[in-house]
Amino acid sequence: MTHHDRADVSAIEALRAAWKPEAQARGLKLTALAFHVAALARALRAFPKFNASLSPDGETLILKGYVHIGIAVDTEHGLKVPVIRDADRKGLWSIAAEIGDLATRAQARKIGPDEMGGASMTITNLGGIGGTGFTPIVNPPEVAILGITRTETVTVWDGDTPRPVPMVPLDLSYDHRVINGADAARFLSRYTALIADRRHMLL
């Protein structure tokens, strides 16, 4: 099953612009993906059933005491999914540095098998390519995957006043044997709230 929503990324874009000089000084590229990884790590802590694996026979749900986020990387040699381990314990700068390192090494075919397994959940980001939505396929034994597409400007009405707001489409696919639709809606609602409020990003 796939649940669709979108999140206001005004806070993310404002912070990326404000922190651009510091990112350059650190030799990093602070991408929106770093914020998504941080937000997903928090959401997984709040919803333990999503931070789980299903046994091959489908009979046992294994709840994880850690939060590892897989990031799908499109390379000339096929899809690679390196993993950011203990993402819930890392700050944005650390996550941004790790994303850059893993993506670069994935492109160069220098990612080892031990760096691509054991994710709690995976993010697949097509924002740099295009599209308004898709149905990502869950990567077993994970029970959910988050898809992201290109940010678009949406008109939001503030009373009688129209306001342009950058919104990112989100597509949450999940294993219905473990997660029901209401839980998926609640999870993505929490996630969009984390993305929209800069206070969450500063903690």
Checking if the pLDDT of 106 tops 80, the result is yes
Cα–Cα dist 84/99, whole Å: 8
**CA angle (87 as vertex; 176, 82 as ends), nearest 5:** 75
Cα–Cα dist 152/154, whole Å: 6
Please give the helix or strand (H or E) that residue 61 lies within, else none: strand 61-63
Structure tokens at 93: 């700068």
Cα–Cα dist 36/125, whole Å: 10
**The one-letter amino acid at 24:** Q
How far out from the chain centre does Cα 88 lie?
Answer: 12
Cα–Cα dist 8/11, whole Å: 8
- Average pLDDT for residues 42-50, to the nearest whole number? 96
**CA angle (69 as vertex; 61, 99 as ends), nearest 5:** 170
**The one-letter amino acid at 36:** H
pLDDT at residue number 65: 96
- Alpha carbon distances (Å) from 4 to 111, 164, 187, 190: 32, 21, 11, 13
Checking if the pLDDT of 41 tops 70, the result is yes
Q: Determine whether 200 is an active site residue.
A: no
Among 110, 109, 125, 124, residue whose Cα is nearest residue 76: 109
Homologous superfamily assigned to 2-54+62-202: Chloramphenicol acetyltransferase-like domain (3.30.559.10)
Structure tokens at 113: 């098998």
Cα–Cα dist 1/174, whole Å: 6
What are the tens digits of pLDDT across the range 121-156? 999 999 888 888 999 999 999 999 999 999 999 998
Checking if the pLDDT of 5 tops 60, the result is yes
Cα dihedral sign for 37, 39, 42, 48? negative
Question: Is 0.85 topped by the overall pTM?
Answer: yes
Q: Which member of 3, 36, 68, 176 is catalytic?
A: 176
